[in-house]
């Protein structure tokens, strides 16, 4: 009670002096080292002040509110705020007004599939609002129905990048930003594509780019690998890409493909089916999208990956010769 009365007396005395009069005499707080306080998106001013008070950052919330009123009732920004050492209340107010908070980011890595992204949001993004985020085998279809993705699936449609957010940001809004980034990039690149590609629409380019991405080649090799796949499509040959089989196996994949697994009955198995998989198998990065839409000028139909070295060939006979010459126990073949 004495504390409240003292606060009110100070407010009455200092209010005529205006904002600077109040903030000049606001006491400092001494939060514990490394103190982090989340102010979530949508929190009102009074709620934000109470959160900071309960966290031990604002010893006199009534005086802080008076300073806020005299400052013109500015919007207090959501964010994750770090406090340590001696912190003046005026400094806290200015930081909240200008949103000087700790950066929070959701990162989508090229080659991740939707399952990994949803896992990242649920397990490693504690300040994201997960309301409405789907789970299970139908997540890709449910997200597409919510406007995140196209062709009835969100797989492949989230552009790899770092997306900044503040506490309380909806996971769906972050995914929607990633979808719009991918769609904008894809449409722009498609409009400038090389002539004569055996692709009917931007979605087919997205699918093939995801396969090129998952082949794991460095960017300098992606245009040549894309050319191999495109040449195979032209000739009606199966793509025969291991990552498509791995995607078909899903959680059953144990780190290496067995002869039995190579025959898994799935539309994604490009050893069994000619043409593209039904959807992308991962989120392709910008370089793999560019590689598919601007492939190397090559007639190659095969390649061998041996570490960072890649060997290409135009015929099966030449391919077998290269296998005998270059293949090591750690190498992967494409045939």
Average pLDDT, whole number, for the chain? 90
Q: How many CB atoms lie under 10 A from the CB of residue 222?
A: 25
0.95 exceeded by pTM: no
Which ranges in 166-269 belong to alpha helices (H)? 171-191, 202-214, 219-235, 242-249
Q: pLDDT grade, residue 101 (50/70/90)? A: very high
Q: Contacts by 196-201 with C-beta closer than 8 Å and gap 24+?
A: 197/230, 197/292, 197/293, 197/295, 198/230, 198/233, 198/234, 199/230, 199/233, 199/292
Q: Are strands 79-83 and 35-39 parallel, antiparallel or unpaired?
A: antiparallel
Answer whether residue 327 shows pLDDT above 90: no
78 has pLDDT over 50? yes
Q: Which two tokens stand for residue 237?
A: 């040959």
Place of tokens 């750690």: 330
Confidence of residue 88 (pLDDT cuts 50, 70, 90): confident
pLDDT digits (tens, 9 = 90+) for 10-53: 555 455 555 555 554 555 666 666 689 999 999 999 999 999 99
Q: Provide the β-strand partners of residue 104.
A: 165
pLDDT for the residue 84: 83
Q: What is the pLDDT of residues 233-272, one digit of tens each?
A: 999 999 999 999 999 998 888 888 888 899 999 999 999 9
What is the CA 186 to chain-centroid distance, rounded?
Answer: 16
- Report percent pLDDT > 70 for the chain: 87
When pLDDT is averaged across residues 181-203 and rounded to a whole number, the result is 98
Q: How many CB atoms lie within 10 A of CB 187?
A: 10
pLDDT at 321 over 80: yes
Inform me whether the pLDDT recorded for 216 exceeds 70.
yes
For tokens 């959680």, what's the residue? 251
Distance CA 36, CA 133 (A): 26
Set out the domains of the chain in order of their start, with CATH numbers: 22-98 (3.30.1490.480), 105-188 (no CATH), 201-327 (no CATH)
pLDDT attached to residue 87: 85
Residue 203 sits at φ, ψ, to 5 deg, of -65, -40
Please identify which residue in the block is written with the tokens 């931007």: 202
**β-strand 162-165 against 309-313: which pairing, if any?**
unpaired
Tokens found for residue 70: 């005299």
């Amino acid at each position: 009670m004495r504390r409240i009365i003292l606060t009110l007396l100070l407010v009455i005395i200092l209010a005529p002096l205006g904002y600077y009069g109040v903030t000049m005499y606001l006491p400092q707080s001494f939060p514990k080292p490394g103190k982090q306080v989340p102010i979530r998106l949508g929190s009102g001013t009074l709620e934000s002040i109470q959160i900071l008070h309960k966290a031990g950052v604002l010893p006199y919330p009534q005086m802080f509110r008076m300073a806020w009123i005299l400052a013109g009732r500015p919007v207090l920004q959501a964010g994750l705020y770090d406090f340590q050492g001696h912190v003046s209340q005026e400094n806290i107010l200015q930081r909240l007004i200008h949103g000087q908070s700790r950066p929070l980011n959701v990162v989508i890595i090229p080659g991740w599939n939707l399952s990994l992204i949803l896992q990242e949001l649920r397990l490693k993004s504690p300040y994201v609002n997960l309301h409405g985020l789907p789970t299970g085998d139908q997540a890709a279809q449910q997200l597409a129905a919510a406007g995140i993705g196209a062709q009835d699936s969100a797989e492949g449609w989230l552009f790899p990048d770092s997306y900044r957010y503040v506490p309380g940001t909806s996971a769906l809004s972050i995914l929607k930003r990633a979808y719009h980034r991918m769609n904008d990039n894809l449409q722009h690149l498609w409009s400038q594509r090389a002539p004569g590609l055996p692709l009917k629409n931007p979605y087919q380019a997205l699918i093939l780019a995801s396969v090129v991405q998952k082949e794991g080649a460095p960017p300098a090799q992606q245009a040549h690998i894309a050319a191999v796949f495109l040449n195979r499509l032209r000739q009606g040959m199966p793509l025969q890409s291991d990552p498509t089989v791995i995607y078909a196996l899903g959680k059953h994949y144990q780190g290496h493909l067995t002869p039995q697994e190579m025959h898994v009955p799935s539309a994604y198995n490009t050893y069994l089916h000619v043409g593209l998989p039904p959807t992308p198998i991962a989120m392709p990065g910008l370089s793999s999208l560019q590689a598919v839409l601007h492939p190397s000028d090559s007639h190659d139909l095969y390649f061998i990956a041996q570490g960072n070295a890649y060997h290409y060939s135009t015929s099966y006979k030449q391919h077998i010769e290269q296998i005998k010459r270059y293949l090591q126990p750690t190498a992967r073949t494409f045939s």
